[in-house]
Amino acid sequence: MSKLLEGRVALVTGGSRGLGRAICLALAREGADVAFNYSRSEGPANELLAELRKLTKRAWAFKVSVLDKKGLNDMVRAIDEEAGGIDILVNNAGIGQVVPLALMEEEDWDRMMSTNVKGAFLTSQAVLRTMVRAKRGRILNMSSLAGVKMMLAPVHYCAAKAALKGFTEGLAKEIARYGITVNCLAPGILDEGVAVNVPDGKKAEYISHCAMGRVGTVAEVAEVVAFVVSDRNSYMNGATIVLDGGV
């Protein structure tokens, strides 16, 4: 049976750890050549790059922030020159912070919005040029259950993840005429990533309301990502998929 992403080139932001790492590996196992960026985790990034090169013909790692517009454009240009374009973009880079609104600093709010929302905007803008030229592409924005349902989570995190849902819908409408789809995935609490900051009591409460009776795994989410960005998922556009085990 053919692999889902054979012959495709994918870029995953924030790919060196946690969910991003799982997504990179899942895409590579399905046949994609995979590039990812990271900002600090040099060791994990090098380890992931070595793993990816065992799974696929080509893999790239770039140390560049999603807030560095020039760096992003240089990264996309480098991938384009070597691979002939980017077919898939997964906007995964993001941060979390547990702090109540009353104690939140203005800098906390700005950093959350910049990394989680502006980063997706800048990366999408950089990649879209290659997708429009090819008249095809898949963009997937990684949101959160906290961005689509009322739940106890930091206000600036909820707002940023909700913004990604709106960004998805607006962009999907705008660029569908170029054969590009834009969707959004909203996982619940997972075993890795920003969920490690969730207090044990809150995690236990979540599990008590979850039909599956457990948190999800980054590997499970990554498998869904691989299908959503594949050509077998050709009609979904502007959608937000909730993946929470039934909360």
CATH number at residue 192: 3.40.50.720
Please list the residues that pair with 185 across neighbouring strands.
142, 241
Q: Which residue segment(s) compose the domain that 237 sits in?
A: 9-243
Collapsing DSSP to helix, strand or coil, 140 comes out as strand
On whether residue 182 sits in a domain, the answer given is yes
Tell me the residue type at 140.
L
Q: What is the pLDDT along the chain (247 residues), one digit of tens a residue?
A: 689 999 999 999 999 999 999 999 999 999 999 999 999 889 999 999 999 999 998 999 999 999 999 999 999 999 999 999 999 999 999 999 989 999 999 999 999 999 999 999 999 999 999 999 999 999 999 999 999 999 889 999 999 999 999 999 999 999 999 999 999 999 999 998 777 777 888 889 999 999 999 999 999 999 999 999 999 999 999 999 999 999 9
On whether residue 18 sits in a domain, the answer given is yes
On whether residue 93 sits in a domain, the answer given is yes
DSSP 7-30: T-EEEETT-SSHHHHHHHHHHHHT
Active-site choice (38, 157, 178, 235): 157
pTM: 0.95
Q: Which whole-number Å values give the CA distances from 16 to 40, 62, 122, 126, 128, in the listed order?
A: 9, 10, 19, 20, 23
* 206 included as an active-site residue: no
The domain total for the chain is 1
Distance CA 34, CA 23 (A): 10
On whether residue 4 sits in a domain, the answer given is no
On whether residue 3 sits in a domain, the answer given is no
On whether residue 239 sits in a domain, the answer given is yes
On whether residue 51 sits in a domain, the answer given is yes
